[in-house]
Amino acid sequence: MIKFQGVGKEYPRTGIALSHITFHVRKGEFVFLTGPSGSGKSTILKLVFMEEKPSHGDVRVSGVSGRGASRREIAKLRRKLGIVFQDFRLLEDRNAEANVAFALEVTDTPKAAIQPRVHRVLAQVGLASKATSFPRELSGGEQQRVAIARALVNDPFILIADEPTGNLDDRATRGIFQLLRDINSTGTAVVMATHDLDLVRRADCRVIELNHGRIVYDSAETPVGAPEPEPGRAPTGDTA
């Protein structure tokens, strides 16, 4: 579903962001990407939704190659990906319903199909009663739920979440995480970048830990020569 094969990414100004990244994410998996700031978590996610192209190696998402995909192919691929960010990225002048509908309108979904789908996902994220509220009238957790509803409305096979709980308090964080688990339980793969080690420890999910642009730990694989991780081992590294 997602295949990173020997991927490296270099930027002209800041230098090497990722090197020798190889991992696969299978259908329906829930994967945490952890690591300190600047370790390459967001770059990996950008490579998944093809905002960036790899400098070395290849990234394949649902068969589409990150090296050779045309802009049109990337647009089509993104319709099958749900993307969520720490800062929600909602349109302030549109209510929750319109924000979610926006994702369908820009992909030429027939008008008659939009309303039922929007209502379904808003109910799924627990915001059916706040459909007409504007982002400024919603709490951080609720805004993130709207963003998740927008990501879900196209029935994605992968949900990409870049620090989705970074701006939320504990209670809201737990709510959003549970929502992501529920979504995952329906068969949607979730790749979530996070600093929140407590959250990672509590969940029984695959963990990929990055440091200085390299994978230093992948709970699904044991690197050759590395000691077996202890059961329930939390990833190491500075997560400040």
In the complex, the residues that contact another protein under the rule CB under 8 A are: 49, 71-72, 75-81, 83, 89, 91, 102-103, 105-108, 150, 154
Nearest-approach distance from CB 108 to another protein, in angstroms? 8
Instruction: Give the C-alpha separation, 186 to 28, whole Å.
Output: 8
Give the max Cα distance, the chain: 58
8 A C-beta contact, residue 230 and residue 26: no
Task: State which residue, 68 or 110, has the beta carbon closest to another protein.
Answer: 110
Structure tokens at 63: 């068969």
Nearest-approach distance from CB 49 to another protein, in angstroms? 7
**CA 38 to chain CA mean position, Å:** 17
Nearest-approach distance from CB 151 to another protein, in angstroms? 8
Task: State which residue, 72 or 171, has the beta carbon closest to another protein.
Answer: 72
Nearest-approach distance from CB 214 to another protein, in angstroms? 27
Nearest-approach distance from CB 87 to another protein, in angstroms? 10
Residue type, 177: F
Task: State which residue, 27 or 76, has the beta carbon closest to another protein.
Answer: 76
Structure tokens at 27: 């259908």
Q: In this structure, what are the phi and psi dihedrals at residue 8, rounded to the nearest 5 degrees?
A: -130, 150
Q: From 15, 56, 138, select the one nearest 148 (Cα to Cα).
A: 138
Task: State which residue, 75 or 226, has the beta carbon closest to another protein.
Answer: 75
Task: State which residue, 150 or 195, has the beta carbon closest to another protein.
Answer: 150
| HSE (side-chain half, CA atoms, 13 Å) at 95 | 11
Nearest-approach distance from CB 100 to another protein, in angstroms? 10
Task: State which residue, 159 or 199, has the beta carbon closest to another protein.
Answer: 159
Instruction: Give the C-alpha separation, 103 to 83, whole Å.
Output: 11
Instruction: Give the C-alpha separation, 37 to 222, whole Å.
Output: 24
